[in-house]
C-alpha cells in the first residue's frame, strides 16, 4: 500500500506533527485585530487617554479559527473599554503555563513585541491567577489585565442605576481581593501612627480589610434593593400579568427589539454591553392581553462568575418568566456558539427549564445558509430585523401563542357598575366574545381562577 506524501517529503502524520511543533514554537500573530482610528471615535466621550494594548491568548482546544474568533471578541471588548488594539498573538499549548500563562520564553517574546509597539497594557484572553498576573507583569514590564477584569471594567463604565453600580462594584472587589498587590515595596510597608506599633499591619492587609468591610456594606445594600425588586416582582405576579424576558448574547440587538416592541427608548449602540441595567415595560398582544417585557444584561463567552453572582437577583427574572425570548445575532460568525454560551448562564441561574423562543435578529444582513442552519437546529425559531421591522408582527403573534392560557372559560353578564372587572378582563383574559347590552357587558372569555371567582360573586351566568 502506497502512502501519500506532501511536497516536502513528509507523510501526512509527520506533516501534522511538524505543524504542531511549529505552532508551539512561536507566538502566532492574528491578523486584522489592530484598531483603526475611526473605530475609536465612539469611546472619546469617556475622556480617557486610550490605552495601547497587545492581546495574547492561549489556544488549548478546538480549531485555530475558533481561537482567532475568541481573540477577535477580546479585541472588541478592549475597544469598548476605550483601548487601541495594536497587536494580537496566540500561543499553542496543552494548557496555560502555571507561572506566566504563556511560558517564560514566550513571555520574553511578548515583552519584545510590547516594547517595539510602544504598548502600555497586555490583555490576556482568560482569567489569570494572582501569581500569573504578577509574574507576567514582571517580565513584560507593563500592566497586565485578564479577560475577566476587562469585562468588569466595561460593566463599571456602563452601569447607570444605583443597583447596577453596586452590583458591579461588588463583583470588582470580589475579583480584586485575592489579586491585591502593588509595584515594588509600596504595598508592603507597615502602616504608621498610634495603634500600629509593634508587629503592626502591612499596607496590603489594611487594604484587604477595607475591601472586605466595603463588600459587606454593598451586600447589605444589595439585599435591601433585592427586597424592593422582589416586592415589584410579587406585585406583577399578583396582577396575573404574564412575564416575558429577553435574553441573549451581548450586542445581539436585545435593546433594539425591546424598543421595537414597546417604544421603551432604551439606549441602542453598536457596542458590547452598551446597556447593563435591566428595563421592564408593559406590552399588549394583538388581542389586547397585557404582559410584562423585560431585558437582561447581555451574556458573553466565559461571563465572569463574579458578574453572575452580583447580578443574580436581576438574572433570576429569567428563571421566573413565563417565556424567554432568546435573541441571536444572525450576522455573527458563529451564532450557534453564542446560543450555547447564553444557555450555559441560563442553566446557572435556574432558567434552563423556561419555555424558549429563539429570535434571530439582523435577518436583513444574515447569510441565508446561517438562517437555514439555525432553523434546522432550533424547532421554535423566528427571523426578524429590529432595524427594519421585518418579522416583528409574526413575533408578536408568536409571543401571544406562547403565553400561558387562562384555564377557566366563563360566559357572564358584567353589570355596568362593575366596570373594573371588564378592565381586568381586557388586561388578563383571552376574550372570545364581548357585547355591550342594556344592563351590562356580556363577556365570553378564558380567565384564571382568581378572576373567575371575582366574576362569579357579582355577575350573572349566561345560558
Kindly state whether residue 41 falls inside one of the protein's structural domains: yes
Least Cα distance to 361 among 278, 272, 257 occurs for 257
Its sign, for the CA torsion 91, 96, 100, 105, is negative
Coil/strand/helix, residue 326: strand
Please state the rounded mean pLDDT for residues 290-295.
86
Model pLDDT, residue 335: 92
CA distance 240 to 92: 55
CA distance 276 to 434: 43
Same domain, 275 and 332: yes
Model pLDDT, residue 117: 95
More confident residue, 148 or 425: 148
Whether residue 193 has pLDDT greater than 50:
no
Angle between helical axes of 130-140 and 104-117 (0-180°, round to 10): 50
Model pLDDT, residue 404: 83
Q: What is the CATH number of the domain that holds 342?
A: 3.40.50.300
Whether residue 256 has pLDDT greater than 70:
yes
Q: Which of 374, 402, 430 is the last residue of a domain?
A: 402
Same domain, 441 and 389: no
Whether residue 277 has pLDDT greater than 70:
no
Q: Which of 402, 423, 438 is the last residue of a domain?
A: 402
Q: Cβ(167)–Cβ(310) under 8 Å?
A: yes
Terminal CA-to-CA distance of the chain, rounded, Å? 88
Same domain, 267 and 339: yes
Grid coordinates belonging to 16: 501534522
Model pLDDT, residue 438: 85
Residue 312 exposed, middle or buried by CB count within 10 Å (0-12, 13-18, 19+): middle
Kindly state whether residue 384 falls inside one of the protein's structural domains: yes
Same domain, 452 and 361: no
Q: Cβ(288)–Cβ(307) under 8 Å?
A: no
pLDDT tens digits, 406-418: 778 888 888 888 8
Residue 346 exposed, middle or buried by CB count within 10 Å (0-12, 13-18, 19+): buried
Structural domain of 60? 12-154
Q: What is the CATH number of the domain that holds 66?
A: 3.40.50.11060
pLDDT tens digits, 324-378: 999 999 999 889 999 999 999 899 888 988 999 999 999 999 999 999 999 988 8
Question: C-alpha dihedral over 256, 260, 264, 268, to 10 degrees?
Answer: 20
pLDDT tens digits, 213-243: 999 999 998 888 877 777 766 766 666 678 8
Q: Cβ(55)–Cβ(75) under 8 Å?
A: yes
The total number of structural domains in the chain stands at: 4
Whole-number Cα distances in Å, 371 to 251, 298, 364, 381: 18, 22, 11, 10
Model pLDDT, residue 250: 86
Q: Which of 221, 238, 255 is the last residue of a domain?
A: 238
CA distance 343 to 350: 10
Report the mean per-residue pLDDT for the chain.
81
With cell 500561543, the residue in question is: 91
Whether residue 43 has pLDDT greater than 50:
no
Count of Cβ atoms closer than 10 Å to residue 303 Cβ: 20
Kindly state whether residue 277 falls inside one of the protein's structural domains: yes
Kindly state whether residue 3 falls inside one of the protein's structural domains: no
CA distance 459 to 463: 13
Least Cα distance to 366 among 342, 343, 382 occurs for 382
Same domain, 41 and 103: yes
Rounded to two decimals, the pTM is 0.72
Q: How confident is the model at residue 308 (pLDDT cuts 50, 70, 90)?
A: confident
Please state the rounded mean pLDDT for residues 24-52.
55
Same domain, 271 and 387: yes
Least Cα distance to 345 among 361, 359, 324, 374 occurs for 324
Same domain, 424 and 390: no
pLDDT tens digits, 76-98: 999 988 899 999 999 989 899 99
CA distance 178 to 458: 64
CA distance 109 to 5: 34
Kindly state whether residue 1 falls inside one of the protein's structural domains: no
Same domain, 214 and 274: no
- Using only C-alpha atoms, the chain has a radius of gyration, in whole angstroms, of 28
Model pLDDT, residue 270: 54
Same domain, 22 and 57: yes
Kindly state whether residue 274 falls inside one of the protein's structural domains: yes
Please state the rounded mean pLDDT for residues 118-137.
92
Same domain, 394 and 254: yes
Q: How confident is the model at residue 3 (pLDDT cuts 50, 70, 90)?
A: very low
Same domain, 296 and 332: yes
More confident residue, 432 or 395: 395
Kindly state whether residue 75 falls inside one of the protein's structural domains: yes
Range with lowest mean pLDDT among 30-39, 160-169, 374-383: 30-39
Q: How confident is the model at residue 185 (pLDDT cuts 50, 70, 90)?
A: very low
CA distance 350 to 433: 39
Same domain, 284 and 360: yes
Kindly state whether residue 28 falls inside one of the protein's structural domains: yes
Amino acid at each position: 500500500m502506497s502512502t501519500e506524501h506532501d511536497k516536502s517529503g513528509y507523510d501526512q502524520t509527520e506533516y501534522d506533527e511538524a505543524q504542531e511543533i511549529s505552532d508551539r514554537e512561536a507566538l502566532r500573530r492574528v491578523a486584522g485585530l489592530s484598531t483603526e482610528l475611526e473605530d475609536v471615535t465612539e469611546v472619546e466621550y469617556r475622556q480617557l487617554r486610550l490605552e495601547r494594548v497587545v492581546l495574547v491568548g492561549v489556544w488549548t482546544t478546538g480549531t485555530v479559527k475558533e481561537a482567532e474568533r475568541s481573540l477577535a471578541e477580546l479585541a472588541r471588548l478592549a475597544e469598548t473599554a476605550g483601548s487601541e488594539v495594536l497587536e494580537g498573538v496566540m500561543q499553542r499549548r496543552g494548557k496555560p503555563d502555571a507561572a506566566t500563562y504563556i511560558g517564560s520564553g514566550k513571555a520574553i517574546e511578548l515583552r519584545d513585541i510590547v516594547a517595539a509597539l510602544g504598548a502600555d497594557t497586555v490583555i490576556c484572553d482568560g482569567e489569570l491567577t494572582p501569581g500569573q498576573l504578577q509574574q507576567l507583569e514582571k517580565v513584560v514590564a507593563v500592566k497586565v489585565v485578564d479577560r475577566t477584569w476587562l469585562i468588569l471594567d466595561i460593566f463599571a463604565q456602563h452601569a447607570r442605576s444605583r443597583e447596577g453600580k453596586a452590583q458591579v462594584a461588588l463583583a470588582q472587589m470580589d475579583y480584586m481581593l485575592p489579586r491585591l498587590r502593588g509595584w515594588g515595596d509600596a504595598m508592603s510597608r507597615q502602616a504608621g501612627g498610634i495603634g500600629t506599633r509593634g508587629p503592626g499591619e502591612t499596607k496590603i492587609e489594611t487594604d484587604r480589610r477595607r475591601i472586605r468591610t466595603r463588600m459587606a456594606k454593598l451586600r447589605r445594600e444589595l439585599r435591601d434593593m433585592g427586597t424592593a425588586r422582589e416586592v415589584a416582582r410579587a406585585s406583577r405576579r399578583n396582577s396575573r400579568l404574564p412575564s416575558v424576558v429577553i435574553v441573549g448574547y451581548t450586542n445581539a440587538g436585545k435593546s433594539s427589539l425591546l424598543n421595537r416592541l414597546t417604544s421603551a427608548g432604551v439606549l441602542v449602540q453598536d457596542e458590547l454591553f452598551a446597556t447593563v441595567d435591566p428595563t421592564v415595560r408593559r406590552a399588549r398582544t394583538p388581542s389586547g392581553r397585557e404582559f410584562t417585557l423585560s431585558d437582561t444584561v447581555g451574556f458573553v463567552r466565559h461571563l465572569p462568575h463574579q458578574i453572575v453572582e452580583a447580578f443574580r437577583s436581576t438574572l433570576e427574572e429569567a428563571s421566573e418568566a413565563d417565556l424567554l425570548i432568546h435573541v441571536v445575532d444572525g450576522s455573527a460568525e458563529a451564532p450557534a456558539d453564542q446560543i450555547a454560551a447564553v444557555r450555559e448562564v441560563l442553566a446557572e441561574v435556574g432558567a434552563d427549564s423556561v419555555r424558549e423562543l429563539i429570535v434571530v435578529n439582523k435577518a436583513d444582513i444574515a447569510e441565508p445558509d446561517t438562517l437555514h442552519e439555525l432553523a434546522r437546529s432550533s424547532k421554535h425559531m423566528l427571523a426578524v430585523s429590529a432595524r427594519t421591522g421585518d418579522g416583528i408582527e409574526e413575533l408578536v403573534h408568536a409571543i401571544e401563542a406562547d403565553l400561558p392560557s387562562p384555564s377557566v372559560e366563563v360566559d357572564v353578564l358584567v353589570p355596568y357598575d362593575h366596570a373594573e372587572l371588564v378592565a381586568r378582563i381586557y388586561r388578563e383574559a383571552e376574550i372570545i366574545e364581548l357585547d355591550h347590552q342594556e344592563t351590562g357587558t356580556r363577556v365570553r372569555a378564558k380567565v384564571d381562577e382568581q378572576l373567575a371567582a371575582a366574576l362569579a360573586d357579582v355577575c350573572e351566568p349566561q345560558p
